Each structure stands twice: as C-alpha cells, then as structure tokens.
C-alpha cells in the first residue's frame, strides 16, 4: 500500500451504510406522509362540500390553512433543507474521522428528523426538540471533519 492510500474494510463502514439507509428510510416515510396528507384532505373536503367541485390541486398546493398539509410540507421541506449538509458531512466523517461512530450519529440525527411532524403542529418552541439536536449533530460533524483535514 502506498502513502496516501487508505485501507478500509467493509466492516468499518457497515454502520455508515446502515445509518444512510436509516436516514433514507425516514426521508421516504416523509414523502409518503406528504402525499397521503394531501389525498386524505382532498377526500375529506370533497365529502364536506357534497355538491361543489374541489380540485386536488387546490388542496395540494399553497394550502397553509390545513395543519396536516402544512405539517407534511414542512417535514419534507425541513428534511431536504438539511439533507444537503448531513449526508456529505456524515460520509466525510466516516472516512476522515471515525466510521465506528456512524450508526450512532445517524440514529440521533434521523430521530431528530423523525419527530419533526409530531412537534411541528404544536404551538411554541416544541419544534426545537427536533431541530436543535439535528443542528448539534451537524455542528459536530462539520467541526470534526474540519479538524481532521486541517
């Protein structure tokens, strides 16, 4: 093995791969929830309106009056906003810092994302129970990788 060539075994990245799959599972669940919320609300509103027409488009887009629809949108939106940061930092941390921490990191971060749709509808600061742990994980990953490659 030459200088600069790393030796990694599959086992060293097992937790990283498992964590990535967990994270993607939460994402897939949110996308499903987002779609379900719109179909559910469209059906419910059509039943309430009986004689009037209601387009699915009216329910799906730009609907902030319905908490369920807004929660689905914000769960996916918040997830996507930070996915761009989490996944690259997560893998860089596994490669340059410590792959053995990967699954634990993914569990903590994914749990913080997974509770978002439950705390978002609550008024006040409850959403911070989802966002702050995620921000802490992102800060840890960023600072650890930056230190390792400095």
CATH classification of the domain holding 113:
1.20.120.550
Residue 18 lies in a domain: yes
Residue 6 lies in a domain: no
Number of domains in the chain: 1
User: What is the Cα–Cα distance from 41 to 68, expressed in whole angstroms?
Assistant: 8
For residue 7, what pLDDT band results from cuts at 50, 70 and 90?
low
Instruction: Check residues 56 and 47 and name the one with the higher pLDDT.
Output: 47
Instruction: Check residue 5 and give its pLDDT.
Output: 54
Closest to 92 in 3D by CA, of 17, 142, 22:
142
For residue 1, what pLDDT band results from cuts at 50, 70 and 90?
very low
pTM here?
Answer: 0.68
Residue 3 lies in a domain: no
User: What is the Cα–Cα distance from 41 to 36, expressed in whole angstroms?
Assistant: 8
For residue 6, what pLDDT band results from cuts at 50, 70 and 90?
low
Average pLDDT over residues 36-64: 72
Rg of the chain taking only CA atoms, in angstroms: 20
pLDDT above 60 for 9: yes
Residue 5 lies in a domain: no
């Amino acid at each position: 093995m030459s200088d600069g060539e790393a030796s990694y075994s599959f086992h060293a990245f097992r937790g990283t791969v498992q964590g990535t799959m967990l994270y993607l599972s939460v994402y897939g669940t949110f996308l499903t929830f987002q779609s379900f919320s719109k179909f559910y609300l469209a059906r419910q509103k059509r039943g309430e309106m009986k004689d009037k027409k209601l387009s699915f488009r009216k329910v799906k887009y730009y609907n902030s009056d319905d908490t369920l629809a807004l929660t689905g949108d914000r769960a996916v939106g918040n997830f996507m906003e930070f996915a761009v940061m989490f996944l690259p930092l997560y893998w860089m941390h596994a490669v340059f810092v410590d792959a053995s921490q990967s699954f634990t990191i993914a569990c903590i971060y994914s749990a913080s994302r997974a509770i978002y749709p439950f705390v978002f509808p609550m008024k006040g600061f409850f959403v911070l129970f989802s966002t702050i742990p995620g921000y802490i994980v992102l800060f840890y990953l960023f600072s650890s990788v930056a230190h390792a490659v400095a």
